[in-house]
Amino acid sequence: MSDLLERLRDRGWRLTAQRRVVAEVLDGDHVHYTADEVHARAADRLPEIARATVYNTLSELVALGEVLEVSTDGRAKRYDPNARHTHQHLVCSRCGTIRDVHPTGDPLAALPEQERYGFAIAEATVTYRGVCPNCNDS
Amino acid sequence: MSDLLERLRDRGWRLTAQRRVVAEVLDGDHVHYTADEVHARAADRLPEIARATVYNTLSELVALGEVLEVSTDGRAKRYDPNARHTHQHLVCSRCGTIRDVHPTGDPLAALPEQERYGFAIAEATVTYRGVCPNCNDS
DNA sequence: TCTTGACTTAGACAAAGTCCAATGTAGAGT
DNA sequence: ACTCTACATTGGACTTTGTCTAAGTCAAGA
């Protein structure tokens, strides 16, 4: 994700301090922050950054396909910078921790033609839910 | 779902007019209402029913395993009375329409042991996304 | 360095859901 | 049938998450 900023500039993005900071916060492969968490971490480096700017920047990154939106629980959406390699998510039903996982096979193949009701299906997302080792101990 | 009320009474539920109306709204197999839609439909029959009551009742039905919570889009959760037969969902990315679908095989089996990170995994939910025939025409 | 259109800001607004104190009532016990 | 009380409901305030807008700011091309 270190060359993200170059890729964005190539696409005509105006490179502002705010956007740089948001991109830096999302740097790292196994991170699944909410918009507010991104905002808090961005504000550590750039205290006056506005919530709206974080929301705007995240939406742009999602539209550009650089970041994935993940909503596992009907609460705040989370943002996943690991958009290059398709993967699924494993969520702890107690503490909410999220891990990237890689199931075998293609989930799309499991849906027979007569179960597609004429939809042009583009993707399948799988969410595994269970209790993580940490929460299991207590 | 017609014997739902008996099952609930057997479990010690107090049978109030409000709960009866919420259960009746959810009767029917291919229904995926939001809490507010449930509230609106319940209010047709029982105008003074409070939003909080609908939320309470829905949460109880979910806790009892009689109704499933589905959050496909990070917006309002939807409530699915078809909790007896496991199934997955197919969602139109334009209009949001939801259909129940039945993929072959067990998605849990696709996650290898070394990808489980010690979690005690309880379930896998699959969401297929695509454009429905209706939206494809326009 | 000047200019300009794109970007950011603060705060109001909106949607979805939770919480609480006051009030009402289903059903057990008589 | 009547009473009692624990449980359920109500309405409204509140919280969380996210969107919108008008006014100000600034990156980058000329």
The pLDDT tens digits of the residues spanning B46-96 come to 999 999 999 999 999 999 999 999 998 878 999 999 998 999 999 999 989
Number of domains in chain A: 2
pLDDT higher than 60, residue A32: yes
Does B11 lie in the same domain as B57?
yes
* Nearest nucleotide to A76, CA against C1' atoms: D17
Residue B119: burial class (beta carbons within 10 Å; 0-12, 13-18, 19+): buried
From A62, A80, A98, give the residue that closes a domain: A80
- B6–chain A nearest CA distance, Å: 30
Q: What is the CATH number of the domain that holds A30?
A: 1.10.10.10
Does B66 lie in the same domain as B10?
yes
Does B53 lie in the same domain as B12?
yes
Does B55 lie in the same domain as B22?
yes
Segment among A4-13, A113-122, B101-110 with least mean pLDDT: A4-13
Does B97 lie in the same domain as B114?
yes
| Residues in CB range of A10: below 8 A, 6 or more apart | none
User: What mean pLDDT is predicted for residues A10-34?
Assistant: 92
Who among residues 58-87 of B has its Cβ near strand D, under 7 Å?
74
What pLDDT does residue A1 have? 47
Residue A137, domain member (yes or no): no
Contacts of B100 in chain A (CB under 8 A): none
Residue B102, domain member (yes or no): yes
Q: What is the CATH number of the domain that holds B117?
A: 3.30.1490.190
Q: What is the mean pLDDT of chain B?
A: 93
pLDDT higher than 50, residue B45: yes
Residue of A nearest to B70 (CA): A74
Residue A107, domain member (yes or no): yes
pLDDT higher than 90, residue A6: no
The pLDDT tens digits of the residues spanning A78-89 come to 999 999 899 999
Q: Check CB contact under 8 Å for B130 and A115.
A: no
Q: Check CB contact under 8 Å for A133 and B118.
A: yes
Q: Does residue B66 contact residue B4 with C-beta atoms inside 8 Å?
A: yes
Q: What is the extent of the structural domain holding B107? A: 88-133
